[in-house]
Amino acid sequence: MTDQVIANIFAPLLAMLCLTMVVWCVLLYRRLGAARANGIGPSRLRTPNKVQELLPEHAMTPAYNLANLFELPVLFYVLCFYLHLNAMVDGTFVLLAWVYFSLRLIHSIIHCSYNAVMHRFLAYLLSSLVLIILLIRTVVFSL
């Protein structure tokens, strides 16, 4: 296993971090735009409940997606570091990491755009299965 292969596990991790920041930017853009368009001042948006109540759904979906990016993807980050620290990275782990990222990207695009629940759920389910495979493979290789 070369140092290059081991380092490659961080590329999909970095891509996930970038995706999270892009979703945050979309969230900020949509919320500020919706608040401005509806004449809602910052003082009226003091709590998450008020934000949800006052802003339209299209301004809220990026927030739901951002929250989702801090759920299962956290396990992905930990797994990537675990694999690196234990010198377990191989081409299959890197490939699975890219598949995981790609499915999370698709999930975020769907969630922040046309938001078809079944399309979004399929991307979420597939990404979760890839994460489970990553975890099981890590456990097996750790034994």
pLDDT of residue 52: 85
Is 60 or 41 the better-scoring residue by pLDDT? 60
Contacts 24+ apart (CB under 8 A), 120-128: 124/68, 127/72, 127/100, 127/103, 128/72
Judge contact between 19 and 66, C-beta under 8 A.
Answer: no
Write the CA distances from 87 to 6, 38, 90, 132, integer angstroms.
7, 53, 9, 20
Give the length of the chain: 143
Q: Tens digit of pLDDT for each residue in 66-99?
A: 999 999 999 999 999 999 999 999 999 999 999 9
CB under 8 Å to 51, separation ≥6 — which residues?
31, 45, 60, 63
Judge contact between 54 and 95, C-beta under 8 A.
Answer: no
12: containing domain? 3-142
pLDDT band at residue 2 using 50, 70 and 90 as cut-offs: low
pLDDT band at residue 3 using 50, 70 and 90 as cut-offs: low
Q: Any idea which residue has 């694999």 for tokens?
A: 83
Alpha carbon distance 143, 38 (integer Å): 58
As for how many domains the chain has, the answer is 1
Predicted confidence (pLDDT) at residue 13 exceeds the cutoff of 90: yes
CATH code where residue 94 lies:
1.20.120.550
